[in-house]
A and B are shown apart, each in its own frame.
Chain A
Amino acid sequence: MRVDEKPIYEGTFTVTGGNFDNAGEVSSNIKSVLKRIGLSGDVVRKASLVAYESEINIVSYARKGMIRLRVVPDCILIEAIDEGQGIADIELAMQPGYSTATERIREMGFGAGMGLCNIKSFSDTFLISSEVGKGTHLKMIIKTNHSSLNS
Chain B
Amino acid sequence: MTLREIKELLDAEVLVGQNQMDKEVKSAFVADLMSDVLAFATAGSLLITGLTNPQVVRTADVLDIAAIIMGRGKRPSPETFQLAEELKIPLLTTKYILFEISGRLYAKGIRGCIEKVGSK
Binding site for B on A (CB under 8 A): 21, 23-25, 27-28, 31, 41-42, 45, 48-49, 52-53, 56, 107-110, 112, 114-115, 117-118, 121
**B18: interface (CB < 8 Å):** no
* Pairwise interchain contact A45-B63, C-beta atoms closer than 8 A: yes
Within 8 Å CB of B39, what residues of A? 114, 117-118, 121
Q: Which of B61, B62, B79 contacts A21 (CB 8 A)?
A: B79
Assess whether B53 is interfacial by the CB under 8 Å rule. yes
Q: Is the CB of A23 within 8 A of B36?
A: no
Residues on A with beta carbons closer than 8 Å to the beta carbon of B56: 109
Q: Are B53 and A109 in contact (CB under 8 A)?
A: yes
In the complex, B25 has a CB within 8 A of chain A: no
Contact partner of B51 among A28, A109, A114, CB < 8 A?
Answer: A109
Q: A41-B43, A45-B63, A109-B32 are in contact. Are A118 and B54 (CB under 8 A)?
A: no
- Given A41-B43, A107-B53, verify A112-B62 contact (CB < 8 Å): no
- Is the Cβ of B35 less than 8 Å from the Cβ of A110? yes
**Shortest Cβ-Cβ A-B pairs, 9 listed:** A24-B58, A109-B34, A114-B35, A48-B62, A108-B55, A52-B62, A109-B51, A118-B39, A112-B33
In whole angstroms, what is the CA distance A67 to B38 when docked?
Answer: 19
Closest chain B CB from A29 CB (angstroms)? 11
Min distance, Cβ A98 to any Cβ of chain B, angstroms: 13
Whether B62 lies near A110 (C-beta < 8 A) is: no
**Contacting residues, chain B, for A114 (C-beta < 8 A):** 33, 35-36, 38-39
Residues of A near B63 (CB, < 8 A) are 45, 49
Find out whether the CB atom of B35 lies under 8 angstroms from the CB atom of A115: yes
Seen from chain B, the residues whose Cβ lies within 8 Å of a Cβ on chain A are 32-39, 43, 49, 51, 53-56, 58-59, 61-64, 79, 87
The listed residue (A31, A42, A108, A117) touching B53 by CB distance below 8 A is A108
Residues of chain B within 8 A (CB-CB) of A23 are: 54-55, 58
Q: Which residues of B are found within 8 Å of A31, using beta-carbon distances? A: 61-62
Given A24-B61, A108-B53, 15 more pairs with CB closer than 8 A: A23-B54, A27-B58, A45-B43, A52-B58, A52-B62, A56-B55, A109-B37, A109-B51, A109-B55, A109-B56, A110-B34, A112-B36, A114-B36, A114-B38, A115-B35
Question: Pick the contact of B64 from A41, A52, A56 — CB < 8 Å?
Answer: A41
Asked if B62 and A45 make an inter-chain contact with CB atoms under 8 angstroms apart, the answer reads yes
Set of chain A residues within 8 Å of B49, measured between Cβ atoms: 109
Flag if A53 contacts B35 (CB, 8 Å). Answer: yes
